[in-house]
Structure 1
Amino acid sequence: DVLLTVGVLTINDARESWDFLNTNDTRNSPATNSTSAESVSSLLLQSLETITTRLTSDSFNIETPSILLNKTTFENTFNADFNSSVEINITEPDGGNQSITVLTFESMDNVLPARDEANSSVNVINGRVVLVQSNSSISNISFTFDITNNSLGNPQCVFWNFSLFDGLGGWDDEGCTLVSDDTETVTCNCNHLTSFSILMSPNSPDSEALEIITYVGVGISMASLVICLIIEAVIWRKIRRNNTSYLRHVSIVNIAVSLLIANIWFIIGAAISDAEKKNPPACSAATFFIHFFYLALFFWMLASALLLLYRAVSVFDGGLSKTSMLAIGFCLGYGTPLIIATITIAVTAPQGTYIRETGVCWLNWDPSRALLAFVIPALLIVAINFVILLVVMHKMLTRTVARDAAQAGERHVLVVIARSLAVLTPFFGLTWSLGVGTLVSPDDRGIHISFAFFNSLQVQI
């Protein structure tokens, strides 16, 4: 009856309820005044471990639709295949007559969260959960797990540690090592007994070519941006012919500065992610500044496009003053990204879903969808800029010939701005469309390399 009841509690239809309970346990644990917290899923597993220590000494086998309970007595070595999904092998027993109790769960992954010591949000329990107990000391046991989802990689051999996260429990790899990994099975070796399984995560293309393209491209980009800023500093006093020319160069400088600082934080974030010891607070800080300055790049592009539109549809010698347009530009270019980046970290960080721990420090995708706080504004700005370009081209083609030299100069500046936007807008649009593609097809190495190439060469032209 116990096995049947537990089997009902672990069916697929119960997964949503267990997710709610596990999330609620995680969120509420820091607020308690006690030295430890309790997790319902962890308590269920612990109660089953307790039951296995109080069974009769006879050998038996009980099979239910969701759970297989087997107790076997052996003397020398032990090897058995349970439910055609987990193979257990003991080659160095303690000696004498020994017994081993094995509980193999078909769907315990619906109950236990996939959190590990790093509290990563990308891991998945990708094999059966198996509980093993013995009446003797066993320090060398091997498990061969059948993989549930072949599209996942990066296997970790883990056991359920009831003491992690102040008693909430989590998956721990201490004492367990990966022996082999192929397309169908993963073999682990552990030096203790408890509840075991394997954690896996989406494959992230990790190739030397991808790394070289990224870092060489970022280096070229940063060098080009520094040259751009030096040129702007040299010619700064000569650009005050009219307000439009001045504001265009203000936009260029801020686009270059934003991209340069974003690239610097990108390198810092990559160094933090590659470090042996993880530092989530530092990774979160790097992600915040990368998010903010990349958004600032796009919003300054929008400010440049709006300046182009305003000057194209208004009377050349009237309208807003230079000070007013500067104030609007800086509020749009830095104020809006600051609001978006701050709201994103404020909403997702308390739940631990702000950053992801695969690759460089960057906004999380699953489950918080924090990355949308960058992708949506960026692609929306690209679309708006395309519309503005079409409107401006129509206005300039239908406008009468300039009546004096001032208007001719103004018209020339507008042509330069339009030409720059016509190049930058599709370039950035293509780059971050490929970024979305890496989410849709995370295993496609070609998309990752293309995105790394275009992303690392985002240089002001």
Structure 2
Amino acid sequence: MRSVTVKTSPEQFDCEDNKLGFGKTNNMTEGPCDIGSEGSITYICDSKQWKLTQDNCVLKVIKDLESKAQALVVGEIPEFMANLSLAAEQNNANITQSAATVQTIVDILFKIADLSKNIPINKPVMESFLKTVDIIVSDNSSNTWKDLNNKNNTMSGNTSSVKLLQAIENISDRLSTVNFTLTQSSIQLNRVKIQNSFNAISQLPNSTTQIMIPNVPESTFITLIVFTKLDNVLPTRNTSNNDSRTSENSINGDVVVVKVDKTISNISFTFDITNTSLKNPQCVFWNFSLDRWDSNGCKVKLSGNETVTCECDHTTSFSILMSPFAIDNLALAYITYIGVAISIASLILCLIIEAIVWKSIRRNDTSYMRHVSVVNIAVSLLIANICFIIGAAIADQEQPTSVGRCSPVVFFMHFFYLAVFFWMFISALLLLYLTVMVFSQMTRAKMMVIAFTVGYCAPLLIAVITVASTAGPQHYVSKENACWLNWFESKALLAFVIPALTIVAFNLVVLIVVVCKMIRRGVGAQSDESNTLVVIARCLVILAPIFGITWGFGIGTMVSRNFGIHVVFAILNSLQGFFVLVFGTLTDKKVTESLAGNFSIKNLTSSRTRSTSAGTLSNRLGFLQRTQRRNVFNTSDPSTATSSNHFSASDT
């Protein structure tokens, strides 16, 4: 057998390197680490060059210590920690620029903290531990931590930053019962016995963080660690984006770890604000169970231009989160409050008008049921808006929101906002019934029973079930400085979103069906084309706000942070009461004619020429009756013109 040797020309490849060899686009290869490091570097062929995609090189001295840590026993911890801190100090520059080396050191520290959970940790061991931490969290390592956290975000399990914080907390629990103080360039530790009360101020450069415990039930030891550079390390995800590994908020102060041997129910922190351009402070602690910052049990007591004071009812790792979107939030708040005020005034005026004209519109079943729906929509929305104002006042006073004070307000808001939607649903059912079931007739009493059962019993049932299923674990109310249904822990907000959007979708379908029916019947009756378009346009203008189509913009606010979408949603939804007044009441010709008639009668009765005015009044009423008849749009066939089922644009 004859062998054939095939020579490959470098011209057939896209990437070429003396060490990495040849490759085509998207091919991957591994290369060696620099001298003094172990591991490998992964490259990918891109744009005719080998580009680094992953650096797994770890300094050899740290890799050797990692191997020793696997078989480490408790008695060897002091010597091992001294060697680790010395190696970190001697290789400071290389460590802070190597993500793989930093990650390896974090794994070692986590191992040491776990191994020492059954023994007391003395001052030398803790000093070596904090020296190592001080090096890997310095400003020189900030870019390394960004790369490391991005890498960890694509993997399962805790990030290295969270493991580091966990290691710090774990080893702090095991400190020996003696007083001592340790200070590094960005870390200060105080281990002290306290009694009655406690007050301490950070002595680190550019830090005056103050910690106060006003009432210590009995003599006990406290461990207090202040970090000025841990914001370079820790992620900023919080309750506003539970599933995200990034956040628009920033850690805007020191991070303080507090460990007390006894239960403390009241502790106060005063943090320096690092970046004064950020606003909206949140007092938070790192919740390892939820893997994010959490505000439960902490609230902002005072907030100034340079400091924020927090009060908490427990001890752990604390800091403050602040947002760059204060101006936008303030603008939305003004839009909402002004809109709600206009809405409340409009709803009160709407109910007054309905009371004035009630006798004149109740003679016809169609008109009667439509106005019953309008009145109940107005009442429900008015009560819901009042509850909204009360909830906003509570949220402004208590941050995070008080579950006890907010829960009743949230329940009534949930119930009455749902009632608004269900009465819109009743309006849609009435419109569909009158349009499709032309030859069928339901008694007024039966329609009223169905309307009130659906309008109030259904939302009450949903609201009660929501409370019963979420109130136990304290996940009924949102903890995001607002009195509203919880989202992140219990998804209670779905009990509002799902029914509301379902009704909006149903009303859209009803609107389409009704418009199609009107077009066909308008053509069948040989109506003037322009008149048909006017009737359709009038129905659209009236039905769209009443049926809550504008709430569909809420979907945009859930999937996008675009400020314009939030502004449109705030304007449309805060002005629902104004829409009810205009499109539910004032556009009804029967209402305007009744109002005109009432005012005309009052003017005529006060006139000195009453005898001569009687004929004029008779003429006016006759003219109004003729005008009303001209505006009637018969939904039945011409042959059934005598039927009692009439549907006018004013009855929609």
Please give the range of the TM-score, normalised by the shorter of the 2 chains.
0.5 to 0.7
Q: What's the offset of the Cα at 1:419? A: 4.7
Q: 1:290 is matched with which residue?
A: 413
The Cα RMSD (Å) is: 4.6
User: What are the equivalent positions in structure 2 for 1:6-405 lying under 5 Å apart?
Assistant: 54-55=121-122, 57=124, 61=128, 69-71=129-131, 80-84=134-138, 106-108=161-163, 133-134=189-190, 139-142=201-204, 143-144=228-229, 145-146=231-232, 148-149=235-236, 151-153=247-249, 155=251, 159-160=256-257, 174-181=268-275, 196=317, 198=319, 200=321, 205=326, 207-276=329-398, 278-316=401-439, 318-399=440-521
Q: Distance in 1 between matches of 2:360 and 2:324?
A: 53
Shift in Å, 1:395: 2.6
Q: CA deviation at 1:345?
A: 1.7
1:439 equivalent among 530, 535, 558: 558
3-state secondary structure, aligned to 1:198: strand
The answer to whether the 8 A contact 1:158-1:198 is kept is yes
Instruction: Give per-residue Cα distances to partners, 1:353-386, cap 9 Å, x unaligned.
Output: 2221334311122132221211121111111111
1:269 and 1:360 in contact (8 A); partners too: yes
Q: Following the alignment from structure 2 to structure 1, what is the Cα–Cα distance between the partners of residues 351 and 512?
A: 29
Q: Quote the offset at 1:181 in angstroms.
A: 3.2
Residue deviations 1:40-82 (CA, integer Å, cap 9, x gap)? xxxx999889779633637974xxxxxxx2459xxxxxx9544
Deviation at 1:440, TM superposition (A): 2.5
Residue 134 of structure 1: CA displacement? 5.0
Question: Do the aligned partners of 1:151 and 1:202 also contact (CA within 8 Å) in 2?
Answer: no
Partner of 1:429: 549
Aligned letter for 1:152?
Answer: E
Secondary structure at the counterpart of residue 332 of structure 2: helix
Which amino acid in the other structure matches residue 287 of structure 1? V
* Closer, same or farther: CA 180–342 of 1 in aligned 2, 3 Å: same
How far is the alpha carbon of 1:229 from its aligned partner? Answer: 0.7
Could you tell me how far apart the structure 2 residues matched to 1:249 and 1:416 are? 21
**Structure 1 284/135 Cα, relative in aligned 2: closer, same or farther at 3 Å?**
closer
Separation in 2, partners of 1:386, 1:242 = 26
Change (3 A) 1:267 1:400: closer
Q: Partner amino acid for 2:432?
A: L
- The residue type paired with residue 140 of structure 1 is S
2:639 corresponds in structure 1 to: none
Compared CA separation, residues 234 and 46, structure 1 to 2 (3 A)? farther
1:456 — aligned with what? Answer: 574
Following the alignment from structure 2 to structure 1, what is the Cα–Cα distance between the partners of residues 465 and 421?
A: 18
1:425 Cα deviation (Å)?
5.6
Structure 2 residues not aligned, in runs of 5+: 1-65, 73-110, 142-159, 168-185, 194-199, 205-227, 237-245, 282-305, 310-314, 526-534, 584-652
Deviation readout 1:246-292 (Å, 9 max, x if unpaired): 10000010111111111100100000100147532221111111111
The amino acid that maps onto 2:424 is: M
For each residue in 1:293-340, what CA deviation from the matched residue of structure 2 results, as whole angstroms up to 9, or x when unmatched? 111111101101101111112234x43211111111111111111111
Higher relative contact order (CA 8 A, sep 6+): 1
Aligned partner of 2:560: which letter? Answer: S
Question: How far apart are the structure 2 equivalents of 1:453 and 1:5?
Answer: 65
- Distance in 1 (CA, whole Å) between partners of 2:456 and 2:203 is 58
Are 2:362 and 2:368, in contact at CA under 8 Å, matched by a contact in 1?
Answer: yes
Would you say the 8 A contact 2:130–2:187 is kept in 1?
no
In 1, distance between residues paired with 2:519 and 2:364? 22
1:114-144 superposed Cα distances (whole Å, 9 cap, x missing partner) = xxxxxxxxxxxxxxxx996456797424412
Q: Which digits, 9 at most, give the CA deviation of each residue in 1:17-53, with x for residues without a partner?
A: xxxxxxxxxxxxxxxxxxxxxxxxxxx9998897796
Amino acid aligned to 2:566: H
**Superposed displacement of residue 418, structure 1:** 4.3
Matched residues in 2 for 1:305 and 1:252: separation?
12
Amino acid at match of 1:84: S
Inter-CA distance 337–60: structure 2 relative to 1 (3 Å threshold): closer
Residue 436 of structure 1 deviates from its aligned partner by 3.0
**Partner amino acid for 2:433?**
Y
Counterpart CA distance in 2 for 1:312 and 1:189 is 61
**1:52/1:140 Cα in 2 relative to 1: closer, same or farther (>3 Å)?**
farther
1:84-125: CA deviations, max 9, x gaps? 3799xxxxxxxxxxxxxxxxx73238969xxxxxxxxxxxxx
User: Are the counterparts in 2 of residues 299 and 333 from structure 1 also a CA contact under 8 Å?
Assistant: yes
Deviations 1:209-246 (A, max 9, x none): 22221111111111111111111000100112321111
Identity of aligned residues (%): 40
The residue type equivalent to 2:464 in the other structure is: T
SS in 1 for 2:544: helix
Distance 1:132 1:363, change over 3 A: same
Report the CA distance shift for 1:110/1:387 in structure 2 as closer, same or farther (over 3 A).
farther
Looking at structure 1, the residues matched to 164 and 565 of structure 2 have their Cα atoms a distance apart, in angstroms, of 32
Other structure's SS at 1:177 match: strand
Change (3 A) 1:310 1:282: same
Larger Rg: 2
| Structure 2 residue identity aligned to 1:436 | I
Cα drift, residue 161 of structure 1: 5.1
Partner of 2:455, secondary structure, is: helix
**Count of aligned residue pairs for this structure pair:** 357
Deviation, 1:198, is 3.2
